[in-house]
Amino acid sequence: MTTNDSKKRKCEDENRGFNLEWEENYAFTSQGNKPLCLICHTKLRQNKGSNVKRHHETNHENFSSNYPPKSDIRKSKLTELKSALKSQQRFIKIFSMESDAMTEACFVMSWNIARAKHPYSDCEFVKKNLADVVAVLEPKNKNLQRLIEKIPCSRRTTQRRISQISADIKVTVQNDLKSSVAFSLALDESTDIQDNPQLAIFVRYISSDMTVKEELLNLVDLRETTRGIDIKNALNEALARANVPFNKLVSVATDGAPAMVGINIKD
């Protein structure tokens, strides 16, 4: 055989589909067009007879003596292995769908807690209420009650989810601003509960889906003084940190206070 013939044969061998005889001969089935061992659930990378045979003979050498080829006992063992694989996969699918729903439910609760400015611990309280109400309205729906019970909502989880939502909003706003044609700012100076001055920066823009959006871009600590120059510096710093393209800024709205409109700026 020439080298070319050998290469051609190798290529054909690799491109071949699953051979149905591998099920009876080596306890393999096809999954995602790849051979999967029914005994140990190992998936091979290629539909290659020699690899399938090698895997079976190396890892499951007693299979053929326990279940002789062409025997009824082998046939029923293969049927049993196939149904075990199916139910395992069904369980994995249900489990991943359930855990996706749990995560989403947890995000929804955390989002509502953050919007209402409630403490993180209220998530547990909301969940308890939800469980009690469902137990009254749907007493027979044990599955729904079990799902509610499984929603993760400890203080730590709620705090982590809110941080993830916040980070996501930040990235979305930054990307939207980059692709928007123009945006405007609204600035408001305020104080926190300890009387420390703060600057709230709101941004308004048209996003890529052509909707007008308004978001709080940042809440900046003004330290001690609130002169025009302090506000200007704080604003510059916040916009630079958020990668906001300054050249797209078309208007700035304030309450008209002297420090806000720059009357007191003295460099």
Residue 84 in the binding site for Zn ion (CB under 5 A)? no
Q: Which residues 6+ apart lie within 8 Å of 26 measured at CB?
A: 37, 52, 53, 55, 56
Question: In this chain, which residue has its C-beta nearest to Zn ion?
Answer: 37
Q: Does 37 bind Zn ion (CB under 5 A)?
A: yes
Name the residue nearer to Zn ion (CB basis): 39 or 147: 39
Shortest Å distance, C-beta 56 to Zn ion: 7
Q: Catalogue the E-assigned strands of the chain.
A: 28-31, 34-37, 183-191, 197-206, 212-221, 249-253
Q: Is 97 in the site for Zn ion (CB under 5 A)?
A: no
Chosen residue from 39, 81, 126, 261 binding Zn ion by CB under 5 A: 39
Q: What is the DSSP string of 86-136?
A: HHHHHHHHHHHHHHHHHHHHHHHHHHHHHHTT--TTHHHHHHHHHHHHHHH
CB of 61 to Zn ion, least distance (A): 11
Residues in binding contact with Zn ion, number by CB under 5 A: 5
Closest distance of CB 55 from Zn ion, Å: 6
CB 15 to Zn ion: min, Å: 23
- What is the three-class DSSP state of 13? helix
Task: Out of 40, 84, 253, 263, name the contact with Zn ion by CB under 5 A.
Answer: 40
Torsion angle (degrees, nearest 10) of CA 5, 9, 11, 16: 160
Binding site for Zn ion (CB under 5 A): 37, 39-40, 42, 59
